[in-house]
Amino acid sequence: MLAKTVLSLGLWLQFAAGQNTPKRGPQPSLSDSEGDLLFLLDSSGSVSYYEFSRVKEFIWDLMRPFTFGPNDVQTSIIHISTTPTMEFPFDRYLSSGTVQQAIRDTQQLMGDTNTGKALSYAKEKFFSDEAGARPGVPKVLVWVTDGFSTDDISEPMQLLKDMGVTVFIVSTGRGNYLELSAAASQPPEKHLHFVDVDDLSIITKELRDAILDVIQANRFHAVDITSSSFRLIWPKLLSQETGYYTLEYAPIDDPGRKKTKQVSGAHTNLMLSSLAPETTYQVALIPESNMHYIPPQTTRVTTLAEEISPALVLISESKPHSFHVSWAPTPDSVIGYQILYGPLPGDSVKLLEVDGKRNSTAVENLAPNTTYLVTVTAIYKSGKEKSLSAKACTQEEGSKVRHLRFEPIGPNTLKASWNSADGKVLGYRVRCRRQTGPSSLISVSPQIHSVLLTDLVSGTTNKVCVKPMYKNQPGKGLCRMVHMQPA
């Protein structure tokens, strides 16, 4: 683990110094792509300097093979902070060297995590000549987040997707899966990634390939594919004045079911819905130009298997006497859900019933420090049922660390102390996220209520969290920021 941390830090130091990052295998140039690629970068105070630096390294590693230019890929960065800020317009840096330097020079702004405000700002810039954005090219948003936002993201994110923007989300924290999977383009398994900030390189190739699927030049293709719909995207070939598009689509094994739609020449995307699951469709885009002949483009798209609910059950917001149960997806074919829950071991079971349009409920009046078996059953209109179970643990009464304090021991060392938590504590975990240098995690026995934190650089601000550990689950942690005085 230490070797991995030292290697990761060394790679970043080389990147920050302007040297070429060691290659992780062949990196052929990607010159057949065209699109505006926008990174939504969490620049708020909830992200440490170290995490911000690792994300910058990840962004450059992701983009390194692309060819940049007015007819290729253009990129920009928008900071998530109290007020959103564009680091540079899309058309400012049009070579690999200048893009790398611009990413290296990007500085963290701190402030609040106003992601919703940044998304609204991104919607303006994605289609702005002033920001260097180009009409008629694929638009891709990559949001790198620690999973926290101080404002609502659902409405501005949906507006972006409705305008044809493909959204990828990389969560380096404990983001809400249901919220983030709804925010990302569909399906979430292709557009949503959960990964530790030290392991971002694991997803680089997979994410780059998914972006390539969107921004291949002059490519008529589908995104946001579900069991009953997909969105078609194509390059701008016409205008409102020069013609319109005819789209024809039918299952390849039943061409007699062909359907036709027409849209104006100003369109570059269209959502097709009410489709059959697990079916391959032949789709043709026919530009009807009143100026000159433009050849049709075709593609084949296969819809996903029918959504089966519940495919995922999540337990959150655990307290001594309650917890929250969430599930996904929530297809229209489900009329209601039954939630059975009871303590383990035991044969006492209680039942909750909720409407089929809901995807969560609170379970209350529970015993503290107890493991429960929770089973969510979907009741379909057809009468069939599908169930999925998960274990949930209530917290110990008063399971919270109190009064976290610090005492300087030396120029780079602090003593962190805390008062004991209530209940049968099995130990404590102390995590230190350094502004400069790797994070550390220390586990101590329940009798110990202090640790020494070393290698804290003078003049830095570091985040220290202490969490009690119980038999079934961790208790509530207590976090504080601590500033090291300059030498």
How far apart (Å, rounded) are the C-alpha atoms in residues 323 and 348? 18
Q: Can you give the pTM of this predicted structure?
A: 0.49
How far apart (Å, rounded) are the C-alpha atoms in residues 102 and 125? 18
Three-state helix/strand/coil letters over 332-396: CCEEEEEEEEEECCCCCCEEEEEECCCCEEEECCCCCCCEEEEEEEEEECCCCEEEEEEEEECCC
How far apart (Å, rounded) are the C-alpha atoms in residues 300 and 284? 9
Three-state helix/strand/coil letters over 30-99: ECCECEEEEEEEECCCCCCHHHHHHHHHHHHHHHCCECECCCCEEEEEEEECCCCEEEECCCCCCCHHHH
Q: How many CB atoms lie within 10 A of CB 197?
A: 22
Q: pLDDT digit of tens for each residue in the chain (487 aa)? A: 333 333 333 433 344 444 444 344 445 455 567 889 999 999 988 888 889 999 999 999 998 888 898 878 999 999 999 999 999 999 999 888 899 999 999 999 988 889 999 999 998 888 888 889 888 788 999 999 887 777 888 899 999 888 888 999 998 876 778 888 889 998 888 899 988 888 899 999 999 989 988 887 556 888 888 888 899 988 888 888 889 999 999 999 999 999 999 999 999 899 998 888 889 999 999 999 888 888 788 888 999 887 788 988 999 888 888 999 999 888 877 899 999 999 998 888 999 999 998 999 999 999 888 899 999 999 988 788 899 999 998 877 766 788 899 999 888 999 999 988 877 888 999 999 998 888 899 999 999 999 999 999 998 999 999 999 887 778 888 899 999 988 7
SS3 at position 101:
helix
Q: Are 457 and 435 in contact (CB under 8 A)?
A: yes
**Amino acid occupying residue 352:** L
**Amino acid occupying residue 344:** L
**Amino acid occupying residue 24:** R
How far apart (Å, rounded) are the C-alpha atoms in residues 466 and 447? 14
Could you tell me where the DSSP H helices lie in 127-194? 154-162, 177-183, 188-191
Tokens of 170: 């990389």
